Structure 1
Amino acid sequence: MKFVVIILISLTFRELLSSPLYYDEPRWTIAKDDEGNMHLVDLNPVDAEVEPAFDAWTDTFFLLFTRSNPTVGQRITWTRESLEQSHFRRGGQVRFLIHGWGGSANDLGTTREFLELGDYNVIGVDWSVGAGSNNYITSRNRVGITGEVVARLIDFLDEIGFASHSNVNLIGHSLGSHVAGHTGKSVQRGRINAIFGTDPAGPLFNINNPSDRLDIGDAVYTEALHTNAGVLGFDEPITHSSFYPNFGRNQPGCGTDISGSCAHGRSTLFYRESINSDRFVARQCASYAEIVAQNCPGTGVTAIMGGDSAKPIRGVFFLTTNAESPFAQG
């Protein structure tokens, strides 16, 4: 009897993993969140109500890091008093870091790199109350409203003369990339300078619905680093420049990586290293089709992946990386 039960459980789990979503793609996947916890994720695109337990306007927190407080973030709000009593450097460059599913605002590695680069205001957007749901669909449905909250703070900084939109860059990982996109769509007083999406989330986002995801028009310059395209990350180009390290699906050093979580997370490590490095040299491909075919002979145009500045480049780019840090080969 016990043997029969084990067989039934095995068959049921196998059926779950093989349930079709699009074009015979698996309905279920095992994914790692930003904190390294593994989850069985249902990729079935069924609309789910936003849970009332999350109020983006009160449950989204902003932590300010500067050279005066590089390791312990100061909580700031959209009040003049809060900002004047903080270490915020008026008129300085501002970098927003937006985590993904299951993450938090304490990305001290990326914060450290920015503070080494310049005397910046680095703001961690903590929407972990919304992104911490075990249900990926629920967290995904909270992306839009969270972007509106971030946009409100950016507009307020401009309104009181603390920072202009031209000094603001957003860096979002996975679901956080689409939060950044919604932020760019929602600001009212200017255009954000640049958005960098590190492997923008793929499940439940559609190429034909740019109003609900990161898109080319969300900032003066937009860039995506695709490292697990077609699995946990979005596959097609959706930004001014789209970089596909190692053709964008699997990454050296990640082993078999069945869930794709290693390759997905590698995008943040690439971007972090790129902040103070110009060695991620990529060549432009003629089209996205060359990425899919894993054959990009190059057009003669080269570009640097990542970094901290808006760029005049446009198109799809390919590069190879090392299997471990330092990842850049250029």
Structure 2
Amino acid sequence: MKTLGALLLLSVTLIVALPIEENNEVSEDGYFVPQLDWSLKWMSAEEIKKEQRKTKARNWFNDRPVDFHLYTRKNPKKSQKISADDKKSLKKSNFNNNHPTRIIIHGWQNSHQSELNVVIREALLQVMDCNVISVDWSRKFNYFTLNYLSATYMVPKVGVKVAKFIDFLVDEGEMSLDDLHVIGHSLGAHVSGIAGKNVRTGEVHTIIGLDPAGPLYEDAKNEERLTKDDARYVEVIHTNGGTLGFLEPIGNADFYANGGQVQPGCFKIDVVGLCAHLRSYWYYAESIIENSFKSAKCQGYTSAILNTCHDVIDEVRLGGADNYELASGEYYTPVNEVPPYGRGDKFNMV
């Protein structure tokens, strides 16, 4: 039970407020806001605005850098920190511009050592010789980590810092944007979108949004969240849409696993949708290795949710490496209750 409790504490990304910017509107009534113990507390609009003003007044984040941890097949377990302010850190590292680069961005209460980063990193390094960079914007034990409303304030700021780091890799490391994928989970998916909007050296090839944060982000302006225009190809994997995740399609291709709202095997243990929310990165990691998530093309996301799609496309699979050339629109993806989650050639629609 202690292990499960620790996993919940480290992994949940419960989004119940928009990124805090001066021009954002707050509901006249208020919202349920997650607390450190994961209980939900109703906060009035005035209380939320007060917290936003308090966060802005502290201005803690601007002088606190985001950390970038590099892993390669030469150092698959122990990271090398690279700083955009230190060219030597890049030159001394194992970064290889002849290899593809994958950047992973976590959500609230996570870090570069969280489960998300470990399972995706290990999958990537198993199948390809690449640069895996885990972004750490956790700022452990400070106000931003403990207070959710303050954490949302960081999203656009982290996104800009990630964009500057990408430009640094292009300028100083001669990285090709054609070989860059940015992978973000929940709140980190929106950080990925902000980064894509702000890269000045060109266009990011691919962004993978793993169950992007949903509540109230669904009402956010395009410049405040992930959209299909933030990279050459944006794929979104929905697993807890309408609760912790984004329900409507926002990518070039949107995959609705088991209908995108609840996941098999999660019913008895789920906490506010957490189990289903986390499944997105487990599915993606498995897709990297197995490419076993056959999907059916749908006539819209409502059809994907209701499982009324029938046009099975063998070449297009959730997380597929060639999806940027093949996938568009909405897809329904059936999944198993336990690993392996993908059904492969045993594909069926129930």
**Counterpart residue type for residue 266 of structure 1:** R
CA contact (8 A) 1:64 1:123 kept: yes
**Counterpart residue type for residue 128 of structure 1:** S
Q: Which residue pairs with 1:233 in the alignment?
A: 245
For 1:182-219, what per-residue CA distance to the aligned partner results, in whole angstroms no more than 9, with x for missing partners? 00000001000100011000123134611100000000
- Distance in 2 (CA, whole Å) between partners of 1:258 and 1:113 is 27
- Distance in 2 (CA, whole Å) between partners of 1:29 and 1:149 is 26
Q: Which residue pairs with 2:184 in the alignment?
A: 172
Aligned residue among 80, 83, 87 for 1:77? 83
Q: Does 1:244 align with 2:272?
A: no
Q: Which residue pairs with 1:274 in the alignment?
A: 287
Aligned residue among 61, 66, 71 for 2:67? 61
Q: CA deviation at 1:172?
A: 0.4
When residues 56 and 309 of structure 1 are mapped into structure 2, their CA distance, relative to the original with a 3 A threshold, is farther
Q: Which residue pairs with 1:4 in the alignment?
A: none
What is the TM-score when the length of structure 1 is the normalising length?
Answer: 0.84
1:1-330 equivalent positions in 2, closer than 5 A? 27-28=31-32, 38-42=37-41, 46-47=48-49, 48-49=52-53, 50=55, 52=58, 54-56=60-62, 58-78=64-84, 79-106=86-113, 107-129=117-139, 133-207=145-219, 209-256=221-268, 257-292=270-305, 294-302=306-314, 303-309=316-322, 311-312=324-325, 313-330=327-344
Q: CA deviation at 1:53?
A: 5.8
**Counterpart residue type for residue 338 of structure 2:** E
3-state SS of the aligned residue for 1:139? helix
Q: Which residue pairs with 1:14 in the alignment?
A: none
- Distance in 2 (CA, whole Å) between partners of 1:242 and 1:54 is 36
CA contact (8 A) 2:309 2:332 kept: no
* Percent of paired sites with the same residue: 35
Q: Higher mean Cα deviation, 311-320 or 227-236? A: 311-320
When residues 96 and 57 of structure 1 are mapped into structure 2, their CA distance, relative to the original with a 3 A threshold, is farther
Q: CA deviation at 1:57?
A: 5.8
- Distance in 1 (CA, whole Å) between partners of 2:275 and 2:201 is 38
* Higher helix proportion (structure 1 or 2): 2
When residues 208 and 144 of structure 1 are mapped into structure 2, their CA distance, relative to the original with a 3 A threshold, is closer
Q: CA deviation at 1:27?
A: 4.3
CA contact (8 A) 1:250 1:260 kept: yes
- Distance in 1 (CA, whole Å) between partners of 2:207 and 2:243 is 22
- Distance in 2 (CA, whole Å) between partners of 1:193 and 1:221 is 6
CA contact (8 A) 1:174 1:198 kept: yes
- Distance in 2 (CA, whole Å) between partners of 1:131 and 1:319 is 39
3-state SS of the aligned residue for 2:218? coil
**Counterpart residue type for residue 69 of structure 2:** L
3-state SS of the aligned residue for 1:190? coil
- Distance in 1 (CA, whole Å) between partners of 2:343 and 2:97 is 37
When residues 193 and 270 of structure 1 are mapped into structure 2, their CA distance, relative to the original with a 3 A threshold, is same
**Counterpart residue type for residue 227 of structure 1:** T
CA contact (8 A) 1:277 1:307 kept: no
Unpaired segments of 5 or more residues in structure 1?
A: 1-20, 32-36
**Counterpart residue type for residue 74 of structure 2:** S
Q: CA deviation at 1:138?
A: 1.5
